[in-house]
Amino acid sequence: MDIKKILDYQKQDFEIIKLERKLDESQDKKIYQEMRNVVKDAQNKSNNLEKEAGELIKQYAEMKKNYDMEVKACGEIVSKDPKSLKVDELDKTVSKTNQMIESISLLEKKLMSFAEHVNSVLAEFDSTRKRYNDARKKYTEHKEAYEAMSNKLLPEIEKLKQEIKKLEKDIDPVFLQKYKQRRQDKVFPIFVPLVDKTCGGCRMELPSASIDRLKQNGFLECEHCRRIIYNQ
């Protein structure tokens, strides 16, 4: 095989890989993807809080109804003229009134702590809303920046790809296939020289039998890193 042609191909391909990496490792991409998750989380959180708030409002209405009923009943008893009541009736009324006052005060306490709970849910709802809006804004900004870069780089990559495609016809299809497979697996460079007695990619020392085979065939696949070692 003509190693020079392969190395030319690999060299030009490296220009493509650099551009692809630039896109892949873009901070804007990283941030907008993170923000997409934050937005999703905030949406879920906000949906859950909305459900919780709905439940709380129902519970509150129920408690308020009980409270109003107790207050009304208490008012009715108190408004009765004590002079019209017999002694035992009066005793019962006093004890019932005391019970009601106790029950009303308990309900009042419950309502107050309930109101606190409602407030904390509302506050959480607000902060979630804010987190959602901030993340949404950041998402849009960084996505736009990434897309601007991508719109600039993708045609460049495409152009270079067309150019190196012309070189493929001069490369042994078996090697080309091995090359493409390893490239896909993010191995690069793929063709590396023999350096002393080691693989020029991973620097693993090769047994002398392998070196003999390499010298005989002109190439050898590194068992450690799968790169193709050539004899320079």
Binding site for Zn ion (CB under 5 A): 199, 201-202, 222, 224-225, 227
In the complex, what is the shortest distance from the CB of residue 140 to Zn ion, in angstroms, rounded to a whole number? 44
Residue 35 gets which letter from DSSP? H
Question: How far, in Å, CA of 69 to CA of 66, rounded?
Answer: 5
In the complex, what is the shortest distance from the CB of residue 220 to Zn ion, in angstroms, rounded to a whole number? 10
88 Cβ contact partners less than 8 Å away, ≥ 6 residues apart: none
Is the Cβ of residue 178 or residue 227 nearer to Zn ion in the bound state?
A: 227
What sections of the chain are H helices per DSSP?
3-24, 27-79, 87-168, 173-184, 208-217
Is the Cβ of residue 39 or residue 189 nearer to Zn ion in the bound state?
A: 189
Question: How far, in Å, CA of 39 to CA of 43, rounded?
Answer: 6
Is the Cβ of residue 157 or residue 222 nearer to Zn ion in the bound state?
A: 222
In the complex, what is the shortest distance from the CB of residue 171 to Zn ion, in angstroms, rounded to a whole number? 21
In the complex, what is the shortest distance from the CB of residue 189 to Zn ion, in angstroms, rounded to a whole number? 11
DSSP-derived secondary structure for 85-133? S-HHHHHHHHHHHHHHHHHHHHHHHHHHHHHHHHHHHHHHHHHHHHHHH
Is the Cβ of residue 19 or residue 225 nearer to Zn ion in the bound state?
A: 225
Is the Cβ of residue 139 or residue 191 nearer to Zn ion in the bound state?
A: 191
In the complex, what is the shortest distance from the CB of residue 227 to Zn ion, in angstroms, rounded to a whole number? 5
